[in-house]
Structure 1
Amino acid sequence: MAGSRITKDVFGTLPDGRNVERIVLRGEGGFEARIITHGAVLQALIAPDAKGGYDDVVLGHDAFAGYLAERKFFGATVGRYANRIAKGQFVLDGETVQLPVNNDPNALHGGLDGFDRKLWEIAEIDDGAEPAVTLTYVSANGEEHYPGRLDVRLTYRVTGPTELSLSMEARTDRPTIVNLTNHSFFNLEGATSGTPILDHRLTVAAEHFLAIDPTAIPLPELPRAVAGTPFDFRDARPVGERIRENDQQLRNGKGYDHTYCLARDGELRLAARLDAPRSGRVMELLTNQPGLQVYSGNYLDGTIAGKGGRLYRQSDAMCLEPHIWPDAPNRPDFPSPRLAPGEVYRHHTVYRFAVSSP
């Protein structure tokens, strides 16, 4: 319709014949967020550069076949538990739960068939001043061995001229655990630029991070201070400045693949800032989550062809994933992922774009 800031079309079809829909939300100028219902994926995010141009800044695929063929979490909504749980096992209210192990020897990102592989329903479209789409998914009791039915409601909303907000809520009918995130791979020079993110300047508002073992499970120790380590991004530094230092934690993660410890008060606040030197794009990430996974694309190995037919290689993108800390069900000293009937899990993240001089 005339003046509409939302469009909807069919992006692809599942093998069982169900359509995968794409919803486009528009801000000012050429700012757009494109969401598909398979995996509640952020399929494209079109942001301005310092010269007045616009380009897609998230990795992924131009056609649905790419998402169906390979599970790489490009732009996906990850659940029921984002990140890892040691050996796929935890105890909840005295009952041992054994999840499928899909990242030997641990459970990762919801298991063998997580939320990123599900077809979400469009519950609401808001074509007002702040265009939005709300998607829902119901995870049955026992899905991937998680206890309890989980009703999830997710809203992507353009909340400013060049700002995208993501809100997620979840409710359950029996005690369970929940930890959701968006798994977008960002390259602020452009998704098809072929420019690694090692020159991107990163700032993270955290004084501590979680040291990990070689399987990426947090070590049984207190969070480590970032001061004096390659993990100190309290002031802006290029991602690649210290990524090849002789540091055991960098070896364990094959680069950066670590959770930074944010405020635990549940308030929306600035967590990270990423800026690209050539395009002049700047992204600020605000979240109410207690952790931010900083991942430098270490496992992109050139085997996947993405947008524009380009092969994705190591450090072609960076993930900034807000969530509860990994392995928290086994760590009473960590923020709790437990959700009980009558409670509401709430996740709020904002991606705010601006430009600086290139």
Structure 2
Amino acid sequence: MNALIDAQRLAQQLAPTALTPHAISCSGGLTVTVLPYGGRVQSIKLHGQELTLSQADPAFYLTDSAALGASVGRYANRIANAAYQDSKGVNWPLSASQPPHCLHGGAQGFAQRVWTVVEHSADSLLLELISPNGDQGFPGTLRVQQRLQVVDSIDSQGRPGGELQLSFTASTDAETVVNLTNHCYFNLAPQQTVEALAAHQLELMADQYLAVDECGIPLPDAVRSVNEHEFDFRAPKAVGPLCRQNADLPHGLDHCFVNRFVVRTTKNPLPLQARLSYGSGAAQRTLELRSSQPGLQVYVSTYLSKPFASFQGICLEAQNFPDAPNRADFPSAVLRPGELYQQQICYRFS
């Protein structure tokens, strides 16, 4: 079916405000635009320059299959064979959105939902989503809130700019699993071309990564050292050599890196997990990512399609490990009644 017709029909079914852009900004020059549909970060601009792959027409996102800028859940990334077993031994079949596996919470995950705008001010936006019991197969009614706030900041090199702070909270009335993140595709170049992305410099504060099978599911002995491996980004290097597909990288770079557990301080309460930069001197643009999450999925947009192209953007998805609900050796993704899920992700631009 024609994508335009699909979008028109879906738009007719949604509340008129679902595609209303909500802008927040700070005096440091950072402006972020968010859509209630998918809780999506539609645009991030620093001093007027776009830093994430974006489309001006909000209706575009109604038929977007790449989760551009979306808040993904109930479980970001993959759950093997679209099923997991809870602590009582009950098996929960899930929506196989990437057959035979569950990807980003199912075919109708949080990226396809209209989030409620609870509060909106000049620099802050509070969104809420209620995911009912059985949603995409997941047990328990989940109440999720996400606050997006922009503040003035100084990066680690002393340069001024702005920071986008994402704070997720969630509660449930029955045992379930939760893993929430943002899915922006970053390209910091003035002309956001494939060639420009290849020239970006990436640094990851990770000594290990998770090895995966051809479907992106972690292997039994998944945790591997980055020593003497092309995934060693402990010193900055170009993204370009990993923007490819071959037998070793059937999906290109689309792997979870294990973050170092850096002691938090009053000055930097969240550990630095990644630094992405483009250009040099006064024209350089830099993104520093800090998060409370144990993993960072790095994806070089192998499967982006028109109006974008493969390898035109890079996702830096702070999150729990893929398939953690099926892995006792991974950080737990379980949320129980009376508990509060809390995670923070901060993108600092300069």
- Deviation readout 1:2-55 (Å, 9 max, x if unpaired): xxxxxxxxxxx832251222111111254200011111100000024xxxxx31
Q: Given that residues 192 and 312 in structure 2 are in contact (C-alpha distance below 8 angstroms), is that contact kept between their aligned partners in structure 1? A: no
Report deviation, 1:125.
Answer: 2.1
CA distance in 2, matches of 1:75, 1:218: 25
Which of 320, 324, 330 lines up with 1:324 in the alignment? 320
- Deviation readout 1:272-296 (Å, 9 max, x if unpaired): 0000126410000000000000011
Q: Describe the SS at the equivalent of 2:126.
A: strand
Identity of aligned residues (%): 36
Q: Identify the residue that residue 62 of structure 1 maps to in structure 2.
A: 56
Q: Given that residues 194 and 311 in structure 2 are in contact (C-alpha distance below 8 angstroms), is that contact kept between their aligned partners in structure 1? A: no
Q: Identify the residue that residue 144 of structure 1 maps to in structure 2.
A: 136
RMSD across aligned C-alpha pairs, in angstroms? Answer: 2.1
Q: Identify the residue that residue 229 of structure 2 maps to in structure 1.
A: 229
CA distance in 1, matches of 2:293, 2:346: 11
State how 1:146-161 maps to structure 2 within 5 Å.
146-160=138-152, 161=161
CA distance in 1, matches of 2:263, 2:141: 24
Q: Which moved more, 1:211-220 or 1:26-35?
A: 26-35
Q: Given that residues 208 and 223 in structure 2 are in contact (C-alpha distance below 8 angstroms), is that contact kept between their aligned partners in structure 1? A: yes
Q: Identify the residue that residue 212 of structure 1 maps to in structure 2.
A: 212
CA distance in 2, matches of 1:80, 1:245: 29
Q: Identify the residue that residue 106 of structure 2 maps to in structure 1.
A: 111
Change (3 A) 1:144 1:198: same
CA distance in 1, matches of 2:85, 2:14: 39
Which of 248, 252, 256 lines up with 1:255 in the alignment? 252
List runs of 5+ in structure 2 lacking aligned partners: 1-9, 153-160, 265-269
Report deviation, 1:237.
Answer: 0.4
CA distance in 1, matches of 2:125, 2:109: 21
Change (3 A) 1:191 1:143: farther
Which of 79, 88, 100 lines up with 1:85 in the alignment? 79
Which of 333, 348, 351 lines up with 2:347 in the alignment? 351
- Deviation readout 1:56-88 (Å, 9 max, x if unpaired): 111132112211122210000000000000010
CA distance in 1, matches of 2:214, 2:241: 22
One-letter amino acid of the structure 2 residue matched with residue 339 of structure 1? L
Q: Identify the residue that residue 67 of structure 2 maps to in structure 1.
A: 73
- Deviation readout 1:316-343 (Å, 9 max, x if unpaired): 0100000000000110000010000111
One-letter amino acid of the structure 1 residue matched with residue 328 of structure 2? P
Q: Identify the residue that residue 291 of structure 1 maps to in structure 2.
A: 295
Q: Given that residues 194 and 313 in structure 2 are in contact (C-alpha distance below 8 angstroms), is that contact kept between their aligned partners in structure 1? A: no
One-letter amino acid of the structure 1 residue matched with residue 306 of structure 2? I
List runs of 5+ in structure 1 lacking aligned partners: 1-12, 49-53, 306-311
Report deviation, 1:242.
Answer: 5.3
Which of 103, 121, 124 lines up with 2:119 in the alignment? 124
Q: Identify the residue that residue 341 of structure 1 maps to in structure 2.
A: 337
Q: Identify the residue that residue 95 of structure 2 maps to in structure 1.
A: 100
CA distance in 2, matches of 1:314, 1:347: 30
Greater share of residues in helix = 2
- Deviation readout 1:96-135 (Å, 9 max, x if unpaired): 00001111221100101000011111111234xxx20100
Task: Name the count of aligned residue pairs.
Answer: 324
Q: Given that residues 264 and 335 in structure 1 are in contact (C-alpha distance below 8 angstroms), is that contact kept between their aligned partners in structure 2? A: no
